[in-house]
Amino acid sequence: MSNTDASRPLRSLSRGQQWTLAVSCLGVALVIGSMAALYTSLSDIAADTGASQRQLTWVVDGYTLAMACLVLPAGAVGDRYGRRAVLIGGLVVFSAASAVPLVVPDPAWLIGARAAAGVGAAFVMPSTLSIMTAEFPAHQRPRAVAIWAGVAGSGAILGILGSGLLLQFWSWQSIFVGLTAAGVVLLIAAATVSESLEYAHPEMDYVGSLAVAVVIGLIVIALTEAPRRGWTDPLVLGLFAVGAVASAVFVVVELRRAHPLLDLRLFADRGFGSGTLSITLQFLVLFGVFYLLIQYLQLIVGYKPLGSALALTPVVVPIVGISLLAPWLAERLGLRVLTMPGMLAIAAGIFLASRLQVESSYTDFLWALLIMGTGLGICMAPATAAIVAATPVEKHGVAAAVNDAAREVGAAVGIAIAGSVLAAGYTDRITPALPGLPGPARGPFSDSLAAALQAGEKSGPAREQLATIAKSAFMHGYGHAGVVLSGITVASALILAIGAPGRRDATLDGAENRGDNPLSGTTARPHSHTGHDMPDDHDEPTSGYQQVERMERFDDSP
């Protein structure tokens, strides 16, 4: 791949490639945006439906749990039966489930609807990446993946911003109107992209699919329940133990199967393994920090939902902007050289955010946000590209699913860690103050800052003093949670600095896994039907194998 090829602008793409890229990016933005869209509306949902704090947790985590459990099997289904077909099916389920709360605004139905939407999203997300990577030749793929990764990294902000804008004028149900409408529009658009599937039609690994769903499901449930029940609660420990046993079963089954759901040997490739770990850790800290910052902006600073969304929006600029350049740098420097400074920048931004106080200015907040966004922009696209590059094209559905599962599991773990540390810090500081509070206020003050502020409004002259006590307790837990997330990021930077490949390691490892010849520059491309007639005029020189493949693609075209 020449430098000229790598740096070609997007206008050199065919119209079909540009459209496929647009549909893929809109799909991943919808799926990830839906994960965060309800953050700003939880208090309104509780007031309108009477949902408890535990139910509110599952309104958010039900979506993430279903998606995390099914995203790996969904990628394999797309490889076998057609990625466009799976994308369309996922959007049908997502749109239908998102419409349920408009008809039945009940907490139990809302949780079920969000879980069903997560099932649909599990089939949407890996399809967006695998359709795109099958569409683009090798020399154009890094730029396309970089754009996709930048949109994925910004999806949470887009969801928060969109929901905040809707809540400015309408009720919380307007969010589901928006999600349903977006799903239907994207469904129509998805029907126009080319189909892509693997010719070989490998046998589905049903045992592996069930095992990985059990593993991820039990671990995510344990992490969700641990902050409320305690990390040493018998149920939590039991879930972790059964999850560990199921993990061992999954490993044994996958290593023995001829066509496993996930070829665990891929993790021996340093690019694939370190890319997966990097993506997991990035989304762990990203969603953990967003969980903290949204509450800080709304409960401490006093921003409305739209104001808090707008305050977070600047992080999109470095994430998307640097993501476009990062693959070009990774190709020349290697994943290791970019990953360590990128992760350290994320850690620095989180640490600065953890030092914010009640009286801090927005400028203080903005610096922390931009530094963190810069680190995410440096790390995100190269990590995704490393996962894709280490995988044959006919297995890009599974590679995309691994990438997506890493994001979902990381987000769930990050929210669990941030929530548990925040709750522990708040309780530690507020408990000594409870005896001095009025009797009716003790219960709400011991629950959360939101409940404390609501109770304080009814306390007359003591309102300001009580609010100060509660906010001080919140900031105590907030600071501890930020330091923990920052420490995790620093430790991750050190691990990835050792494990991530340099430039030469990445070239040789990726070539070995794909059957490429890194010295001659030729690439062995698999028989993967994409529905296109002929390559673009600017496509790279072809070997005899590639010419045969393209003849087959021409003959099979509708």
pLDDT digits (tens, 9 = 90+) for 505-550: 544 444 444 444 332 333 333 444 444 443 444 444 333 323 323 3
Rounded to two decimals, the pTM is 0.72
Domain coverage including residue 505: 13-205+257-431+470-514
CATH number for position 497: 1.20.1250.20
What is the C-alpha separation between 88 and 224, in angstroms, rounded?
30
| Separation of CA 264 from chain center | 22
The answer as to whether 333 is a domain residue is: yes
On whether residue 451 sits in a domain, the answer given is no
Say what the pLDDT of residue 533 is.
Answer: 41
Residue 146 falls inside a structural domain: yes
Using CA atoms, how far residue 237 sits from 228, 247, 416, in Å, is: 13, 15, 15
Confirm whether 243 is domain-assigned: no
Residue-wise pLDDT for 128-151, tens only, equals: 877 777 777 777 777 777 777 778
pLDDT digits (tens, 9 = 90+) for 158-181: 888 888 888 888 888 899 999 999
pLDDT for position 441: 62
Q: What percent of the chain has pLDDT over 70?
A: 75
Per-residue pLDDT reduced to its tens digit, 18-46: 888 888 888 888 988 888 888 777 767 87
Instruction: Please give the average per-residue pLDDT across 99-106, as a whole number.
Output: 85
C-alpha 151, offset from chain centre: 11
By mean pLDDT, which of 6-10, 448-452, 474-478, 502-506 is the weakest?
Answer: 6-10
| Lowest mean pLDDT segment, chosen from 118-122, 350-354, 543-547 | 543-547
Q: How far apart (Å, rounded) are the C-alpha atoms in residues 399 and 79?
A: 10
Pick the range with the lowest mean pLDDT from 66-70, 354-358, 458-462.
458-462
Number of domains composing the chain = 1
Euclidean distance between the first and final Cα of the chain, in Å? Answer: 31
CB atoms within 10 A of CB 147: 21
CA dist 316 and 178 (Å) reads 21
Q: Is residue 45 assigned to a domain? A: yes
Distance of alpha carbon 143 from alpha carbon 324, whole angstroms: 7
Give domain status of residue 524, yes or no: no
Token code pair at residue 58: 């599952």
Residues 6+ apart with CB under 8 A from 33: 155, 156, 158, 159, 162
Neighbours of 16 (CB within 10 A): 17
Residues 6+ apart with CB under 8 A from 525: 138, 393, 545, 546, 549
Would you say residue 217 lies in a domain?
Answer: no
Structural domain includes residue 219? no
Q: In terms of C-beta density within 10 A (0-12 exposed, 13-18 middle, 19 or more buried), how is residue 72 classed?
A: buried
SS3 467: helix
Q: Return the pLDDT at 549.
A: 33
Average pLDDT over residues 473-499: 87
Any idea which residue has 């749109």 for tokens? 95
CA distance 254 to 264: 7
Confidence (pLDDT) at 540: 41
Task: Provide Rg for the chain, Cα atoms.
Answer: 24
